[in-house]
Structure 1
């Protein structure tokens, strides 16, 4: 799949990928530190969602 992105779009895409990567890592840390099972699961699911979005966004760079 070929995408034709200009420099501004590429920069914005990289920033979005970075933001989702950071969110994923933070949410993983929160999940590891959490003792409440419901919150732990919520953080784990949110972390996975951020990881999935990051991967989908990264696919546009290929």
Structure 2
């Protein structure tokens, strides 16, 4: 497995639309490049809890 290190990045979480409980954010460019995603692609989300910290895993969905 190829390991690529990236600097920790931060993005702002925004409300999807007024009255909605859904949220949205931007995928930082370096992560979009690593995932090879483009507009319209689907993402698979998963998580695990390690020592009380939620770790989110995001993968480009297979077509």
The TM-score bracket by the shorter chain reads under 0.3
Q: Which has the higher contact order (CA 8 A, sep 6+)?
A: 1
Q: Which has the larger radius of gyration?
A: 1
TM-score by length of 2: 0.20
The structure that is helix-richer by fraction is 1
